[in-house]
Amino acid sequence: MDPVEELARTIRALPRVQLQNRLMRLSAREIAAAVRFISGADQHMVFSALPAAMAGRVRDEIALMRRRRLSSRDRLVFVRQVLASLRQESAPRSIGSYIRPVRRER
């Protein structure tokens, strides 16, 4: 199964309180890099589960990422990390929030 679709299914399956608690242990950049690729309805579920300030930071990060080139490998790393965090009671090891820029092919 596609990790992005798996992430969307996990978001829909979790009770709101668990979704909020598990998202809050991630950085805004980690959440943004993962949820950027799911449907608008699933993104809305994520934003509504987060406090307003955190949701605003995630939206800001998504806007910044639209201007960056994120490799498909890095995108999958973020999606899998957020997916692992949502599935576990305890927080998994953070991957950090540094995104290595992708160079253009000339």
Tens digit of pLDDT for each residue in 31-70?
998 898 888 899 999 999 999 999 999 999 999 888 877 7
- 97: tokens are 């929030």
- 33: tokens are 């890099």
Tens digit of pLDDT for each residue in 92-104?
565 555 555 666 6
Mean pLDDT of 67-86: 83
- Could you tell me the fold of the domain covering 3-87? Annexin V; domain 1 (1.10.220)
- Number of helices followed by number of strands (H, E) in the chain: 6, 0
| Burial letters 5-28, b for 16+ CB under 10 A, else e | eebbebbeebeeeebbebbeebbb
Coil vs helix vs strand at 102? coil
The reported pLDDT for the residue numbered 15 is 93
CA distance 29 to 2: 21
